[in-house]
């Protein structure tokens, strides 16, 4: 069990069972815990906050398409993450934005739907196996955050990311749309990526404002 810092007001939750704990007596082994701090100073001891301009030094083609990212949604009562390698960043509606593609079958999809914000996080090569695991099992059936060896931490706006991330982005939803078959101009893409082999339905596309960026 890791602490964010010594703070006065904290909430403790278990991600293994998704239930709030009232005491520490009789807890089953294997539960993972997170201390959320509502004090800004506690957060700043672990991650440094920036505006979107810090992303200018990143190669989005590399960090998303090659190194992958975790898309994490939820809050104190329920959180899940999934690995993604499709998405991007840019400038839209006079705002810095990120866009991600989530299939409706994914557990994370429902959490993004029910929350205003989500996070994108990026890792060094040391965590490649953790990202592989998070992309191969469902949070419905596994406590994959614990299995991947990741430590959830709450950002100052309540968005969850992981201590192990070298870079985390807090995103606020602006727009979503559902893909339809008639949207595809190149029908080969539809045949290749939306069939029985990869599984899953047509993606929901989310466009979100990049509110802040955090580095370790």
pLDDT one-digit tens code per residue, 141-177 = 889 999 999 999 999 888 999 999 999 999 999 999 9
Beta bridge partners of 83: 70
Residue 139 scores a pLDDT above 90 = no
Q: Mean per-residue pLDDT for 23-46?
A: 35
Mean per-residue pLDDT of the chain: 81
Domains of the chain: 48-215 (2.30.110.10)
The confidence score (pLDDT) of residue 111 equals 96
- Does residue 20 carry a pLDDT above 70? no
Mean pLDDT score, 62-71: 96
Beta bridge partners, 81, equal 72
d(CA 71, CA 84): 7
Higher pLDDT, 69 or 141: 69
- Bridge-based pairing of strands 69-74 and 10-14 is unpaired
Q: What ranges in the chain are assigned the alpha helix state H? A: 40-44, 60-65, 107-113, 128-134, 144-147, 187-193
Q: Which of 43-57, 111-125, 150-164 has the lowest mean pLDDT?
A: 43-57
Output the CA torsion sign for 175, 178, 181, 187: positive
In the predicted model, is pLDDT for residue 33 greater than 60? no
Place of tokens 């557990």: 107
- Give the SS3 label for residue 14: strand
Q: Kindly state the percentage of the chain with pLDDT values over 70.
A: 78
Judged against a pLDDT cut of 60, whether residue 34 lies above it is answered with no
| pTM of the predicted structure, to 2 decimals | 0.78
Amino acid 14: pLDDT: 29
179-186 long-range Cβ contacts below 8 angstroms, 24+ apart: 179/203, 179/204, 179/205
Q: Is the pLDDT of residue 9 over 50?
A: no
* Alpha carbons 99 and 205: distance in angstroms, whole number: 7
pLDDT at residue 200 in the model:
79
Band the pLDDT of 108: cuts 50, 70, 90. Answer: very high
pLDDT at residue 198, rounded to an integer: 63
């Amino acid at each position: 069990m890791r602490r964010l810092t010594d703070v006065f007001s904290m909430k403790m939750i278990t991600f293994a069972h998704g239930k709030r704990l009232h005491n520490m007596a009789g807890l089953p082994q294997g539960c993972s815990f997170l201390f959320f701090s509502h004090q800004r100073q506690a957060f700043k001891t672990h991650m440094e906050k920036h505006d979107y301009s810090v992303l200018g030094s990143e190669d989005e083609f590399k960090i998303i398409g090659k190194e992958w990212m975790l898309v994490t949604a939820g809050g104190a009562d329920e959180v899940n993450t999934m690995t993604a390698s499709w998405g991007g960043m840019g400038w839209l509606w006079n705002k810095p934005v990120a866009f991600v593609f989530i299939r409706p079958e994914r557990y994370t999809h429902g959490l993004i739907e029910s929350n205003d914000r989500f996070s994108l996080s990026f890792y060094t090569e040391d965590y490649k196996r953790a990202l592989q695991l998070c992309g191969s099992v469902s949070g419905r059936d596994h406590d994959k955050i614990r299995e991947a060896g990741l430590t959830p931490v709450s950002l100052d706006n309540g968005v969850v990311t992981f201590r192990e991330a070298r870079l985390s982005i807090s995103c606020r939803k602006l727009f979503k749309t559902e893909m339809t078959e008639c949207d595809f101009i190149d029908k080969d893409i539809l045949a290749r990526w939306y069939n029985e082999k990869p599984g899953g339905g047509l993606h929901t596309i989310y466009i979100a404002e990049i509110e802040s960026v955090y580095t370790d």
